[in-house]
Structure formats: structure tokens, C-alpha cells
Amino acid sequence: MDQTLMGFAESLRGLSMPELRKDPIVGRWVIIATDRARRPVAPPSEPFPIGAGVCPFCEGNEVHTPHEILAYRRPNTRPDEKGWRVRVVPNKFPALQIEGGLSKRGDGIYDQMNGVGAHEVILECPFHEASLTQLPVENIREILWVYRDRLVDLKKDSRFVYGMVFKNVGPAAGASLEHSHSQLIVTPIVPINVIEEMSGSLDFFNYRGRCIYCDMVHQELTGEKRVVLDTPNFLAFCPYAARFPFETWILPKHHNSHYENIQKIEVDEFGVVLKTILMKLEIALSKPAYNYIIHTSPFDTQALPHYHWHMEIIPRLTRVAGFEWGTGFYINPVPPEQAAGFLREIEVDVSGGRVE
């Protein structure tokens, strides 16, 4: 966000509760959250100001975050003090607020509701590392397990229907702090992109009687040309219709619609797969800015035969321009077969990692 906008946002008054508004034409919801304009952000074009001020995510600075919700810590250490390995806190500048009712209401042709939801930050390590790949695999497994723990807890709240786990790395990917972290946003409505995935995969299931993601795993393993990594329980590949150069998806091979139903043995393997893929991308693209996002099923559904949780990793190398905004058509200059071939060749060693 640039200085002009920051200044303008500072002058805003009156909207304390975030508001959810629905576009009446396509049904997309938007969060109007004026508090977000006040958060500290690095200008998108500059690297993070390392060492400039106190990092609120470092061990010893627990006082600079809201009270922790959950942490995996050494025995005999106390909440909001040192001794944690992974720590979850509310976002200090939340897009949605945890308190209050939904209060759905109309305004002529428009629809709105209160911006009720959860917005949490997962601090991935106590020390100031910018990359998840600097951590031992064991710590990455704990981070993946903490995602599960938070989803299991939040889905008990009947106001909420969807939980989205995501990670922004680098200013070009929208990250505002360097210290390695991910986020969880829980919403009172199912987001439109999720509805589209659910509906498209249900159409396929009704027509073919199979999960389209399972079919995709099968076809990719047969062809192999887009495969980046194949392990007993996971497949990482560059998708056939990749929107972005080096876009990579990780799918569990065994059908499971809800990420929070993941088993411990799968998380152990997922930790290795994720670290491997991120290391390959960092080498291939010189530590790119990237996002990863876990796509999973809504809270209010039971096990679904047509949907399959997965993680999408998107390096942010190209800008999305007017054409993409207008059409939803993406222009990708790197065929996924070429990207996968390149990533496949890169050898990495996942055994190291910083421990303090």
C-alpha cells in the first residue's frame, strides 16, 4: 500500500467492525476492513527493513503480539513467554473480527453482513528466519499439524463455514513482515472460488462417478511429464492449465476432502514433500516471492466423495494485468511441462535446518 493510501486510510473514521458486502452480479463477497489500512507494510518495491525496529514474531517479543491461542512449547514454559517452537496468535490487524453476530441485511439490490470471522497468524519459528526451508522437517510437520488443530477448533463455532490456510512470502506476494509465518482466515460464508471448485468437481462426479482430483493424480502419474515429486502418499506436479510460471500443486494420493482429517503419518510425509518443493523453487527461481494456499472443504460438510483437499503453490514472478482481471484468462509464458522438468532435475537435501 502506498503512502498516499496510508495517509488517506489514517483519516478514515467510523467503520470499526469490518463489513462483508456481496457483489450483486457475480455473487463475490468483499471484506471492507478499514483497520487493515493502518497495519505497517513494507513498500512493495523494497525488501523488508531488516533489523529496523523490533520483530513482533521473534522469541522474547511475545508482548508485542495479542495473547497466544495455541503454542507447541517446551515443558514448564508459560503462554506468551519464551520456549515455543510454533505459536498461533490473533492477527493484530484482522480482516474479520471474532466477536458478534452475523446480522445479515439488505440495502436495495445489495446484501451485507457483519465481518465476523477469525484471522490468526501462525508464527512458524522462534528465531528470525525468512524461509520455511531453513527449518528442520520436524518443525515443518508441527506447523502442518497446527493448521489441523486450529481448523478442528474453529469449526466448532457454528457461525463459521470455511477456513483458509495460506502463506505469503515476500512483499511481491503481499507479505508485510519478513519473519516466517502463515495465516488462517475463517469466514461466515463459503468463498466464491471454493464454491466454483466444489461445483465443478461435483459436476464431474455426477457425470463420471469419480473424483476429478483422483483422476488427475492417475493421469499425471501415467504421463509423468508434469510430475515434480512422487512419494507413497503425495504427488507434486505442475498443473495442466497452470495460470502462473512454476505453479505447483501438492495432492494427497488417498482421497480425503477435508484437510483437518489428515493423519499423523501423512503429515510426516507432507512435511518432507513441502520442504522439498519449496527448496526446489527457491533454487530454480532464486528465492522467489510466493503464496501457498490449502484448498479444503467447507466446515458444514461431511466427507465428500467429489472433492479432494490440496495445496497450491504460486511463485509471484509475473504481474497480473488488465486482461487477466477482466477475463479470468491467464497468460502463462512457461509451459507446465517445462517447469516440471526443470524442477524435477534439481537435487535438494532436506536433512538440515536451524535449531536453537
- 67 to 96, contacts with a copy of itself by CB under 8 A? 95
Residue with smaller CB distance to a copy of itself, 194 or 278? 194
- Distance of alpha carbon 144 from alpha carbon 161, whole angstroms: 21
- Side-chain half-sphere CA neighbours of 60 within 13 A: 5
Asked whether 187 and 117 are in contact (CB, 8 A), the reply is: yes
Given strand 227-230, what is the order of strands in its sheet? Answer: 70-73, 84-90, 118-123, 181-187, 162-169, 290-295, 310-315, 248-252, 234-237, 227-230
Site string for a copy of itself, 100-119 (x = CB under 8 A): -------xxxx---------
> Binding a copy of itself by CB under 8 A: which of 175, 177, 235, 304?
175
In the residue annotation, 295 being an active-site residue is answered as no
Q: Is 201 helix (H, G, I), strand (E, B) or coil?
A: helix
- Within 10 angstroms of residue 206's Cβ, the number of other Cβ atoms is 9
> Binding a copy of itself by CB under 8 A: which of 63, 322, 349, 356?
322
Our finding on whether 61 is near a copy of itself (CB under 8 A) is no
Q: Which residue's C-alpha cell is 505469503?
A: 168
Our finding on whether 206 is near a copy of itself (CB under 8 A) is no
Q: Which residue's C-alpha cell is 466454483?
A: 196
Torsional sign, CA 251, 305, 303, 201: positive
Our finding on whether 15 is near a copy of itself (CB under 8 A) is yes
* Closest separation in Å from C-beta 327 to a copy of itself: 3
Q: Which candidate in 119, 179, 181, 258 is catalytic?
A: 181
> Binding a copy of itself by CB under 8 A: which of 238, 291, 299, 344?
291
> Binding a copy of itself by CB under 8 A: which of 59, 120, 124, 197?
197
* Closest separation in Å from C-beta 275 to a copy of itself: 18
Q: Which stretch binds a copy of itself (CB under 8 A): 11-19, 73-81, 131-139, 151-159?
A: 11-19
**Residue 104, φ and ψ in degrees, nearest 5:** -70, 140
> Binding a copy of itself by CB under 8 A: which of 58, 98, 113, 192?
192
> Binding a copy of itself by CB under 8 A: which of 187, 248, 256, 257?
187
Our finding on whether 273 is near a copy of itself (CB under 8 A) is no
**DSSP state, 222?**
H
**Residues of this chain, 125-154, that bind a copy of itself according to CB under 8 A:** none
Sort strands 234-237 and 248-252 into parallel, antiparallel or unpaired: antiparallel
Task: Report, as residue numbers or ranges, the catalytic residues.
Answer: 181
